[in-house]
Amino acid sequence: MEQAMIIVNPTSGKEEGTGYVRMAQEILEGQGYVITVKETQQEGDAARFSTAACEEGYGMVVSIGGDGTLHEVINGLTGRQQCPKLGIIPLGTVNDFARAIGLSLIPEEAIRTLASPATRSVDVGQMNERLFINVVAAGALAESVSSVTSEDKSKFGSLAYFKEGLKELTGNTPNHLLINHDGEVWEGDSPLFIAALTNSVGGFERLAPGAAVDDGLIHCFIIKDLTILSTLTASISLLLGNLKDHKGVEYFAARSVTVQSAAPMRINVDGEEGPALPVRLSVLPRHVRVVVPEGESR
């Protein structure tokens, strides 16, 4: 019989993650899987568990948690000789990747999707030696978002990010960036750079409405000004789905991007703190198979 591993972050979804494990087990057992449940306790656990699932020939790995848990699972899955298909039960604060791929954000409905025969092969981003599934951001605003605590995420949800962002906005100072993309160069001051694989970033599903999870491209936004006034007009453009046309924004799509800064600067990767610049970003096209609702496969 085929094996499936459920990897659950017990602190996700206002600490309700373990409550959905039994339901997921029942669905998977109904599909003929033998189930192993792994509960994360510290950073790196989810990656180690998913790597073990690859090495032991599991047919499916299920991530129960937020974008951070999914980020680790992806890093453990890829680059292996045998890569199980991936099921996702979104319980995080934002759940950008689940939004982008058309999964329900209602946990019970997402769990029922595990019985679907449909899969979709999605792009994975490579950042130096690390992988990402949704977004890389650089700048003081991105650094402030990384400082949001798990306690605040549980208590305030997405408002926790908004609170930290407002604090940074009032005293934002641009950083001098040098960005190479597919043979072209951009250099200048920017308080925020965003590189997205999908259309959803920070819960905004219209950041890059033309982006798809399997288009082989990194969709990049260089924000050139974050004053209160420009932020207001950029927010309106974001809601309308035309942020890339805003006069304070430089947009491009590329297969390879390198970002450097004059001053030391850390980045945010899939909602979590990442390494310092410089970074090189590229795409591993259609690298992981994700279980999706019937009718969503491509």
**Residues labelled as active-site residues:** 272
Q: 148 CB contacts (<8 Å, ≥6 apart)?
A: 160, 161, 164
The alpha helices in the chain, defined as continuous H runs, are 12-15, 21-30, 45-55, 67-77, 96-101, 107-112, 140-146, 150-156, 159-169, 228-240
Asked if 238 and 207 count as a contact pair (C-beta separation under 8 A), the reply is yes
Residues 6+ apart with CB under 8 A from 160: 93, 148, 149, 152, 153
Q: Pick the closest to residue 130 from 256, 275, 285, 277 (CA basis).
A: 275
Extended strands (E) in 197-297: 218-223, 249-254, 256-261, 266-269, 272-276, 279-291
Quote the CA–CA distance of 78 and 83 in Å, as a whole number: 7
